[in-house]
């Protein structure tokens, strides 16, 4: 039930990938995703596969976790695959009545599906190997330059931290409220969309009241400890670049060159 949901996808391990600086991982993931759109054909994907395969192996995350990330979007993959296969015009490979499968269609379908799969694997790797708190630190650090433009970077990071901290608490509250209302005969499971929507009110109102109570207590606690905003604030665990981060950068540069080379020369 709700109890069993673990926060985020973080898979605890002591791999080199886990220990990389989160800023690096965020940027690399973005670069990786962009690179997927640079790939022109299957040779490029071979490069991608080899590289991401290496990273997955180094991360020591069991394959089944990586594949689990694909499960929910399996529908999308199947959807995309089917539509691409059936709708592209070209040399017909096989037909049956209205259904027409073309060579180009099949090619496209596989290509797009692979891109999607690689994209999700890459994204999953980021969240599997980075604790949400570290992710927050990384984002805060990367966005620091924008502070001058008026972006409330510190506050955003603090919000993320607080939200992350309270999600388990709020999930418990949700569970408790659901049970209490169910004890009074509320039904959250059956009924059409509108009926279920209305059934949410006895859940949402107490949840809000509870959440704002938490907010009030927290704000008071912070003030009581002289919290005064982000100016001059230091961190307990500051992010630092290490040797392995440099090695990672080199790896990424090689990877990117290979992909670009594939695009231009093949």
Partner 1 sequence: MSIKAENLTHIYNKGLAYETKAVDDVSFTAEDGEFIGIIGHTGSGKSTLIQHLNGILKPESGRIFIDDIEITSKNVKMTQIRKRVGLVFQYPEYQLFEETVLRDISFGPKNLGLSDDEVVERAMEAMRLVGLDFETYAERSPFELSGGQKRRAAIAGVIAMRPDVLILDEPTAGLDPKAHEDILNMIRSVKERAGGIVVLVSHNMGDIAEMTDRVLVMDGGKLVRDGAPAEIFADEEFLKGIGLGVPPAARMANVLAAGGLASDRSVLTLGDLTDFLANRLGGAGGGADDETPEVSR
Partner 2 sequence: MNLRKNVRFWVQAAVIGGVYAALTMALAPISYGPMQVRVSEALTVLPYFTPAAVPGLFVGCFVANTISFYGVPDMIFGSLATLAGAFLSYKLRKRAWLVPLPPILVNGVVIGAMLYFIYGVEPSLLADMAWVALGECLACYALGYPLLRYLKRHERIFRLTED
Which residues are near partner 1 by CB under 8 A?
A: 3-4, 173, 176-177, 179-187, 201-202, 205-206, 209-210
**CA-CA distance, 169 to 173, in Å (whole number)?**
6
Q: Which among partner 2, partner 1, none contacts residue 184 (Cβ within 5 to 8 A by kind)?
A: partner 1
CB of 243 to partner 2, least distance (A): 26
Contact residue for partner 2 among 31, 60, 65, 127 (CB under 8 A): 127
Label residue 165 exposed, middle or buried (CB < 10 Å: 0-12, 13-18, 19+): middle
Q: Which among partner 1, partner 2, none contacts residue 250 (Cβ within 5 to 8 A by kind)?
A: none
Residues near 121 by Cβ (< 8 Å), separated by ≥ 6? 52, 56, 66, 69, 70
Q: Retrieve residue 145's tokens.
A: 């330059």
Q: Looking only at residues 50 through 69 of this chain, which bind partner 2 when binding is defined by CB under 8 A?
A: 69
CB of 208 to partner 2, least distance (A): 6
Nearest to 55 by CA among 76, 81, 24, 96: 24
CB of 29 to partner 2, least distance (A): 6
Q: Looking only at residues 191 through 220 of this chain, which bind partner 2 when binding is defined by CB under 8 A?
A: 193-194, 197-198, 200-201, 204-205, 207-209, 211-212, 214-216, 218-219
Cβ–Cβ under 8 Å, residues 63 and 77: no
């Amino acid at each position: 039930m709700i109890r069993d949901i673990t926060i985020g996808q973080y898979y605890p391990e002591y791999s080199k990938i886990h220990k990389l600086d989160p800023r690096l991982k965020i940027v690399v993931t973005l670069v990786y995703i962009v690179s997927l759109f640079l790939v022109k054909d299957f040779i490029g994907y071979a490069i991608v596969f080899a590289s991401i395969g290496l990273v997955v192996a180094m991360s020591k995350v069991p394959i089944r976790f990586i594949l689990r990330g694909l499960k929910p979007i399996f529908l999308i993959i199947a959807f995309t695959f089917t539509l691409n296969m059936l709708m592209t015009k070209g040399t017909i490979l096989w037909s049956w009545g209205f259904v027409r499968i073309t060579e180009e269609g099949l090619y496209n379908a596989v290509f797009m599906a692979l891109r999607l799969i690689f994209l999700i694997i890459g994204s999953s790797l980021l969240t599997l190997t980075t604790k949400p708190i570290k992710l927050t630190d990384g984002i805060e650090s990367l966005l620091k330059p924008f502070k001058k433009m008026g972006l409330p970077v510190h506050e955003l990071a603090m919000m993320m931290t607080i939200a992350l901290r309270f999600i388990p608490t709020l999930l418990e509250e949700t569970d408790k409220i659901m049970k209490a209302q169910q004890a009074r005969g509320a039904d959250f499971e059956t009924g059409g969309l509108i009926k279920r929507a209305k059934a949410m009110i006895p859940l949402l109102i107490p949840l809000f009241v509870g959440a704002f109570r938490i907010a009030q207590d927290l704000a008071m606690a912070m003030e009581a400890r002289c919290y005064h905003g982000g100016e001059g604030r230091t961190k307990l665990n500051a992010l630092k670049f290490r040797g392995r981060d440099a090695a990672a950068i080199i790896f990424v540069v090689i990877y990117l060159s290979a992909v670009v080379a594939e695009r231009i020369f093949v």
